[in-house]
């Protein structure tokens, strides 16, 4: 039995489409556990799913979508180009394979997962040009990038001239990534914040726990609400039903400006990253 959709606001994208601000991420969900986990998320009312070729679970995400019976136009599905697939023919082939695994005629959003400035002769602009062609040929409604630093955005805008709809970057209270968020905003690109609760590392934080006690919410809910009020798109991951539900209960409370500033002040700069630095990451 599928519950009604959560009351998630839509964020307008620069290509005329829109995306639900809250979704469900499936990084590090084992293929054997993915169908059941995504079914729980859909039952909870999530309608936006974030997967990737790299995660190895697109087929199981597709099985959960098929089993749900939810009409295609009520779902928003993102996948991402794997690091070994940046050459034009590989990108085209890999999107066809992703669609086959997901059981979909098109995805809503296809992203370059990492810019890989030290591979492919640093030519991620050509990869971006291919992504734009894939949008034109209908395999994806929107195209965007992930882990693009401001200089990477400048380069594709100079060389290709098409603005990505989104940039999916690491953002959490310990790595607020303001320079990349500001570059996105300057170009009219929506920011998606990956690992929004720093993969669980926010647990035990005195500032976050203090706010959570006062607003009678959990630390995860406080941090997820912080992202929403800052305007970023998020898709927390959990394989536990109670946390999947907890992470969706974000729409009946608000944080004050002081709370938002207090959480942002936890920023530790680059040492707050949970993942690799995009300027040096080779994708291997």
User: Which C-beta is closer to ligand NDP: that of 99 or that of 112?
Assistant: 112
CA distance 267 to 265: 5
Q: Please, are residues 148 and 160 in contact by the beta-carbon 8 Å criterion?
A: no
Closest approach of ligand NDP to the CB of residue 15, in Å: 19
- Residue whose pair of structure tokens reads 């060389």 in the numeric block: 159
- Report how far apart the first and last C-alpha atoms of the chain are (Å, whole number): 41
Binding residue for ligand NDP, selected from 146, 167, 176, 177, defined by CB under 6 A: 146
Closest approach of ligand NDP to the CB of residue 38, in Å: 11
User: Which C-beta is closer to ligand NDP: that of 69 or that of 206?
Assistant: 206
User: Which C-beta is closer to ligand NDP: that of 175 or that of 235?
Assistant: 235
Binding residue for ligand NDP, selected from 131, 145, 238, 259, defined by CB under 6 A: 238
Closest approach of ligand NDP to the CB of residue 62, in Å: 16
Burial class (CB in 10 A: 0-12, 13-18, 19+), 284: exposed
Note whether 25 binds ligand NDP by CB under 6 A: yes
Q: Which residue has its beta carbon closest to ligand NDP?
A: 25
Binding residue for ligand NDP, selected from 31, 56, 150, 275, defined by CB under 6 A: 275
Site for ligand NDP in 167-206 (CB under 6 A): 168, 194-200
Closest approach of ligand NDP to the CB of residue 106, in Å: 19
Closest approach of ligand NDP to the CB of residue 220, in Å: 3
User: Which C-beta is closer to ligand NDP: that of 110 or that of 235?
Assistant: 235
User: Which C-beta is closer to ligand NDP: that of 107 or that of 220?
Assistant: 220
Binding residue for ligand NDP, selected from 93, 186, 213, 240, defined by CB under 6 A: 240
Burial class (CB in 10 A: 0-12, 13-18, 19+), 108: buried
Torsion sign, CA atoms 177, 178, 181, 186: negative
Binding residue for ligand NDP, selected from 19, 171, 212, 220, defined by CB under 6 A: 220
User: Which C-beta is closer to ligand NDP: that of 171 or that of 257?
Assistant: 171
Stated as kind and residue range, the H or E segment containing 207 is helix 206-215
Q: Please, are residues 38 and 71 in contact by the beta-carbon 8 Å criterion?
A: no
Q: Which residues lie below 8 Å from residue 104, measured CB to CB, with a gap of 6+?
A: 62, 65, 72, 77
Considering only CA atoms, give the Rg of the chain: 18
85, 84, 148: which is closest to 114 by C-alpha? 148
Which residues are identified as catalytic? Answer: 55
CA distance 234 to 23: 6
Interacting residue ranges for ligand NDP, rule: CB under 6 A: 25-27, 50, 113, 146-147, 168, 194-200, 220, 235-240, 243, 246-247, 275
């Amino acid at each position: 039995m599928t519950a009604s959709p959560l009351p998630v606001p839509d964020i307008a994208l620069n290509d005329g489409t829109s995306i639900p601000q809250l979704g469900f991420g499936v990084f590090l969900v084992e293929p054997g556990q993915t169908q059941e986990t995504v079914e729980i998320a859909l039952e909870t009312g999530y309608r936006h799913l974030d997967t990737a070729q790299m995660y190895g679970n697109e087929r199981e995400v597709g099985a959960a979508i098929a089993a749900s019976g939810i009409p295609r136009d009520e779902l928003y599905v993102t996948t991402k180009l794997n690091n070994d697939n940046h050459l034009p023919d590989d990108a085209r082939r890999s999107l066809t394979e992703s669609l086959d695994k997901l059981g979909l005629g098109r995805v809503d959003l296809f992203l370059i997962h990492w810019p890989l400035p030290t591979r492919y002769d640093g030519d991620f602009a050509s990869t971006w040009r291919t992504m734009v062609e894939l949008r034109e040929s209908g395999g994806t409604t929107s195209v965007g990038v992930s882990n693009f630093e401001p200089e990477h955005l400048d380069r594709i805008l100079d060389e290709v001239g098409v603005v990505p709809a989104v940039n999916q970057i690491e953002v959490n209270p310990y790595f607020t990534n303001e320079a990349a968020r500001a570059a996105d905003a300057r170009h009219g690109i929506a920011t998606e914040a990956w690992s929004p609760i720093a993969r669980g590392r926010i647990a035990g934080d005195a500032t976050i726990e203090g706010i959570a006690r006062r607003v009678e919410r959990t630390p995860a809910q406080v941090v997820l609400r912080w992202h929403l009020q800052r305007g970023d798109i998020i898709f927390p991951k959990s394989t536990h039903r109670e946390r999947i539900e907890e992470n969706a209960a974000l729409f009946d409370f608000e944080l004050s400006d002081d709370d938002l500033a207090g959480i942002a002040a936890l920023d530790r700069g680059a040492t707050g990253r949970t993942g690799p630095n995009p300027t040096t990451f080779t994708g291997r």
